[in-house]
Amino acid sequence: MSVLVGKKAPLFSAPAVINGSEIVNDFSLEPYIQKKYVVFFFYPADFTFVCPTELHAFQEQMNEFEKRDTVVVAASTDSVNSHLAWLQTPKNNGGIQGIKYPVVADHSLTISMDYDVLAGEFDYDDNGNQIFNGSAEAYRGLFLIDKQGIVRHQVVNDMPLGRSVEEVLRMIDSLQFTEEYGEVCPANWHKGDKGMKATHEGVSSYLSEN
């Protein structure tokens, strides 16, 4: 599994559904660079069980992301038409109707490969024919990208393990705190807590106060 933290987030152009109903063929993260923080997350598949709970959980906290100048973008390896059908399916029928943030269609698998979250890989058989081993779906990867387009946080869960949106918000708060104050965040830090100065004196002061 590649570690993308500290590196430029891989850019792409791919079909996506935006605002819950509009298909665009050339969606990209590039317009957000220098303007917004980005939470870019992958989920395994449309019309499944854990995935809609995650997508709805992100939508329910959209006001909190907006307060933090952050956009949310989802992606899976399903087609854009599958995304659209799922977005038109009511929540009580297992759908994600009401999701407004972009949902990217990585049907070519290239975005998942670039972010190294694909649960399978291309190979060749004994006759030199290209084959695919494993599942052509993405693990539950999530990447926090800063305004310079650098990945500052990543986490990858296996498919049965849903993520915590509250933890994503905490990581955004941590990143923005370090950028604003030049201090670092200790374990279990939350917005409003004290940070630590990245010096020996700062560590000593923090330990004496806690």
Annotated catalytic sites, by residue? 51
Which tokens sit at 165?
């949106």
C-beta separation of 169 from 191 below 8 A:
no
Instruction: Give the Cα separation of 116 and 120 in Å (integer).
Output: 10
Q: How many CA atoms lie within 13 A of 141 on its CB side?
A: 26
Amino acid at 87: L
> What is the SS3 assignment for 34?
coil
Instruction: Give the Cα separation of 78 and 161 in Å (integer).
Output: 19
> What is the SS3 assignment for 42?
strand
Q: Any idea which residue has 């949106």 for tokens? A: 165
C-beta separation of 75 from 38 below 8 A:
no
> What is the SS3 assignment for 195?
coil
Of 88, 101, 104, the residue nearest 11 (C-alpha): 104
Instruction: Give the Cα separation of 68 and 192 in Å (integer).
Output: 14
